[in-house]
A = this chain, B = another copy of it.
Amino acid sequence: MAESPRPKRKREEEEEAAGAEPHDGAAVPAFPLAELRLRRVLRESAREKAVFLHGEVPGEAVSPSGEGANAVVILEKTPFQEEKILDLLKKHTKLELQMRNDIYSTYHLYPPPELSEIKTTVVYPATEKHLQKYLRQEVHLIRETWEDYKSITLPFIQSQSFSIQWVYNILEKKAEADRIVHENPDPCDGFVLVPDLKWNQNQLDDLYLIALIHRREVKSLRDLTAEHLPLLRNVLQEGKEAIRKRFGVPASQLRIYLHYQPSYYHLHVHFTALGYDAPGSSVERAHLLADVIDNLAMDSTYYQKRALTFPLRADELLFKKFQEAGRV
């Protein structure tokens, strides 16, 4: 939910900022995983079978108190591979009956090591910022009135110098030009459709594209009026058509929506595969483009009147602004 839509880009920025040079993997010794001291579980996901750990590497004292150096270790069980399922059924080391009731039974199956890989990601040495990033944060819903928007959210957006140069680079064909799936070049009612960086385009299951509008002054849902209907209808119709042509996915299997709050304040529309439980597609953050169009057609100032709900992490600055205003 709190995930960034451009994680790779963020990652690149972090590294650029640190002036880090990527090392060659060959010469570097493996991380001493077996010696790691487990400090705490930062976060876990029972549904996704993943856990985020804060560990300490002993012998690497970096503080006068003798503390070791911090590491973040992420363990994630891997999806089943179809070609290895038969092996799994035949080569299990143990099969324990747990429960049997009529035609239903459950077992504990213990596979050999080569069939139970765990993807392990290490961030080492990790700073306090890395630890914070992976620490489970409380999330709260905000119900933002139009007055809240004007007095809290808008000043916050304006005070931040969010860089959206990467959006302009795409619109101006200075970056990702070869990735453009469709463009309507009209400066007022046009847009560019590109695959989201989260989608590797290897399979359609998690199809994810983004439409970036050419106009530059529309920050979010809150700025939309009936004036933007031709633009929004172009995005909806041409976006569907382009995805059907390029990827063979019919419009009825696309979830097409905007986020509020968005991750960056240049209006964009998400296109994801309906069967894909995309992060940020929950009702508390997503707004179907078809509903947005109908709302604006009914009332041009719909989004300048209505209260809107959205989630914020307790460590986000905007959350603090709402707290200061006594609105949480």
Contacts and interface: CB of A to CB of B under 8 A. Distances in A.
7 contacts: A34-B90, A77-B80, A88-B118, A110-B113, A112-B113, A255-B284, A281-B282
A237 to B, nearest CB: 13
Nearest to A277: B47
A111 B122 contact: no
Contacts of A254: 141
Interface string A1-42: 000000000000001001011110100101101101010010
Nearest to A125: B103
A117 interface: yes
Contacts of A282: 255, 277, 281-283, 286
A117 B113 contact: no
A252 B140 contact: yes
Interface string A85-99: 110111011110101
Contacts of A121: 104-107
A114 B110 contact: yes
A143 interface: yes
A246 interface: no
B123 A118 contact: no
Interface residues of A, number: 100
A102 interface: yes
Interface stretch (A155-163, A261-269, A288-296): A288-296
Given A107-B120, A291-B309, 16 more contacts: A21-B102, A25-B105, A41-B82, A73-B89, A75-B85, A103-B125, A110-B117, A113-B113, A116-B118, A140-B250, A141-B274, A257-B283, A274-B284, A281-B282, A281-B283, A294-B307
A180 interface: no
B101 A78 contact: no
A145 to B, nearest CB: 10
A277 B284 CA distance: 11
Given A113-B112, A124-B105, A97 B30 contact: yes
Interface stretch (A48-56, A59-67, A208-216, A223-231): A48-56
A119 interface: yes
Given A125-B103, A291-B309, A108 B120 contact: yes
A138 interface: yes
A106 B85 contact: no
Nearest to A23: B100
Contact of A34 (B49, B89, B103): B89
A126 B107 contact: no
Contact of A88 (B23, B75, B139, B252): B75
Given A140-B253, A255-B284, A116 B111 contact: yes
Nearest to A136: B275
Contacts of A105: 25, 28, 31, 121-122, 124
Given A30-B107, A274-B311, A294-B307, A22 B95 contact: no
A28 to B, nearest CB: 5
Contacts of A164: none
B103 A123 contact: yes
